[in-house]
């Protein structure tokens, strides 16, 4: 659920107010982190740095080059195997609870107004979630959602929620987008995918899906409201 800064949009001029979604769009697919959920990666880097007695820069470099994070998001590792991989990476004997606390530290707020927006959009669009994530994060995200909205799960706000760990695929692999399209017989030309990550948007475009880069969650909110 990494974020990108570059602009990549179905709209060519970002210096003018963001227009409404084109009337041809019938289906919306939302990313989670950086779009609906605030992310703070530095909090996890800092937590693991303290636990492993290393610098934040060392931790960031180690995490960037370690393939097991992507494997965990694809459901190829159990929670136990993921935690063991963290212990090996840090060369420390952290408890499960300490690892989980550091790992979920990157998860920030989900403001109620974002959830209400998504829920309201279902009266006009077919609305889906497509997220690269993992079971430890999903459990924490559902706790955040329940505290904010009273609903038991993030799934309550979408027609369907797709998580990479369940599909054994992850963005930007074209297969994951094609899976969502096929499951609901969606026309990609009538589908808009919103993500903060440029690579994920490019993957969606390979499947024929229209895209919009959410450089900040406020931009996503503005997209669906009159200027």
Secondary-structure class of domain 41-104 per CATH: mainly alpha
Q: What is the DSSP string of 29-93?
A: EE-SBTTTB-B-HHHHHHHHHHHHT--HHHHHHHHHH-THHHHHHTT-S-HHHHHHHHHHHHTS-
Minimal CA–CA distance to 192: which of 182, 183, 205? 205
Structure tokens at 207: 């499947």
Residue 220 pLDDT: 86
Picking from 31, 18, 1, the residue whose alpha carbon sits closest to that of residue 158 is: 31
Per-residue pLDDT tens digits of the chain, which is 227 residues long: 333 223 334 433 333 344 578 889 999 999 999 999 999 999 999 999 999 899 999 999 999 999 999 999 999 999 999 999 999 999 999 999 999 999 999 999 999 999 999 999 999 999 999 999 999 999 999 999 999 999 999 999 999 999 999 999 999 999 999 999 999 999 999 999 999 999 999 999 999 999 999 998 888 888 887 54
- How high is the pLDDT of residue 226? 52
Strand order across the 126-131 sheet: 160-163, 126-131, 27-30, 191-195, 210-213
Q: Which SS3 state, helix, strand or coil, does residue 202 take?
A: helix
Q: What is the pLDDT of residue 22?
A: 84
The Cα–Cα gap between 158 and 150 comes to: 15
User: Domain locations in the chain?
Assistant: 27-38+110-223, 41-104
The single residue listed with the structure tokens 């399209």 is: 181
User: What would the CATH number be for the domain defined by 27-38+110-223?
Assistant: 3.40.50.1000
């Amino acid at each position: 659920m990494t974020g990108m800064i570059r602009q990549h949009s179905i709209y060519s001029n970002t210096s003018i107010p963001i227009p409404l979604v084109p009337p041809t769009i019938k289906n919306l697919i939302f990313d989670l982190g950086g779009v609906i959920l605030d992310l703070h990666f530095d909090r996890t880097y800092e937590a693991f740095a303290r636990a492993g007695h290393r610098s934040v820069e060392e931790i960031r470099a180690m995490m960037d080059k370690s393939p097991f994070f992507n494997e965990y998001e694809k459901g190829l590792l159990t929670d136990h195997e993921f935690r063991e991989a963290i212990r090996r990476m840090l060369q420390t004997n952290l408890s499960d609870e300490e690892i989980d606390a550091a790992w979920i530290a990157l998860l920030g707020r989900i403001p109620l107004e974002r959830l209400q927006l998504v829920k309201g959009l279902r009266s006009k669009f077919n609305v889906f979630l497509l997220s690269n994530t993992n079971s430890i994060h999903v459990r924490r995200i559902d706790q955040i959602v329940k505290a904010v909205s009273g609903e038991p799960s993030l799934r309550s706000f979408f027609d369907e929620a797709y998580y990479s760990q369940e599909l054994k695929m992850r963005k930007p692999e074209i297969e994951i987008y094609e899976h969502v399209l096929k499951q609901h017989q969606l026309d990609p030309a009538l589908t808009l995918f919103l993500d903060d990550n440029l690579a994920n948007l490019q993957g969606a475009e390979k499947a024929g899906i229209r895209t919009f880069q959410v450089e900040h969650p406020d931009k996503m909110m503005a997209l669906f409201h009159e200027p």
